Amino acid sequence: MTIEDGVRAIETGVATDFTARMDYGGYLSLDTLLSAQNPISDHRDEPLFIAAHQTTELWLKLALHELRGVRADLDADDVRRARKGLARVKHVFRTITDQWSVLATLTPSEYTEFRGVLGNASGFQSYQYRAVEFVLGNKNERMLTLVRSRPEAHDLLAELLDSPTVYDAFLSFLARSGHDVPRHLLDRDVRRAWVEDASLLPVFTAIYEDTTAHWAEYAMCEDLVDLEDAVQLWRFRHLRTVQRTIGFKVGTGGSSGVDFLKRALDLTFFPELYTVRTHIGA
């Protein structure tokens, strides 16, 4: 590398002619991606609002991709690959949790100045977030009514509503590994949201009380707990950001806003993995 007149020269091996070759922008479709920010108002802070939500949607797309992969990995008894996918999703949620700090720089007075242009658009309508919740077990068929006008989104949620969850796949893996998972849980209606079942606790108690014999299963249990913690922290940061920005106003989509987000904190994907801690060593 040489510096001439204070300017660093381009290394001789660096490609510069992309007339017939793919470049960075082409690979990432940057022309499309960077033209997708279309503020409705001329308010200086609206681009922040758009970018924060669009990047979150990109991360949710990756999370859904990985969680579907984790489910397939468990079906194939590939615990190592499943654990890698769960770790990735956990870090995705940590990343979008940190993103709330950027959006939180939007003060109540600033947001009020352009909130009206959003109409009824609301994060409550994020079908990718609903898809992530569905694949993790928080299913609600009524949520499909939010995407009736978007056939692709409706088809995605309908597919996931009819499909086993990551937890279902894990329980089936445990059964194939010799654990006495109750039959009614293996044959359950996967369209229904998961509800805590005490008959599963002896299975997890046995795993946690002999981690040497059941290391792979134990590690998966802890990975699932890590993931749920990451999702809950994201939910909590969402709640606090909304509260500091709009207080207790009704959401743009018609939800109760902060009160709705508070109730979401009571939702859990893997309840038995928390309850079992009371029984370990008792």
Residues 6+ apart with CB under 8 A from 152: none
In residues, how long is the chain? 282
Gap between the Cα atoms of 100 and 49, Å rounded: 11
Reference 241, options 34, 101, 144, 86; nearest CA is 101
CA-atom Rg of the chain in angstroms: 23
Interior CA angle at 146 toward 252 and 123, to 5°?
40
Distance CA 17, CA 270 (A): 53
DSSP track, 38-105: --SS--TTHHHHHHHHHHHHHHHHHHHHHHHHHHHHHHTT-HHHHHHHHHHHHHHHHHHHHHHHHHTT
Residue 111 known to bind ligand? yes
Measured CA to CA, the distance from residue 218 to residue 220 in angstroms comes to 5
Q: Are 181 and 143 in contact (CB under 8 A)?
A: no
* 252 carries a ligand binding annotation: yes
Q: Which of these, 122, 112, 279, 258, lies nearest to 199 by C-alpha position?
A: 279
Return the bridge partners of 102, or none: none
Which residue numbers belong to the known binding site for heme?
Answer: 238
Which residue numbers belong to the known binding site for substrate?
Answer: 111, 115, 252
Which residue numbers belong to the known binding site?
Answer: 111, 115, 238, 252
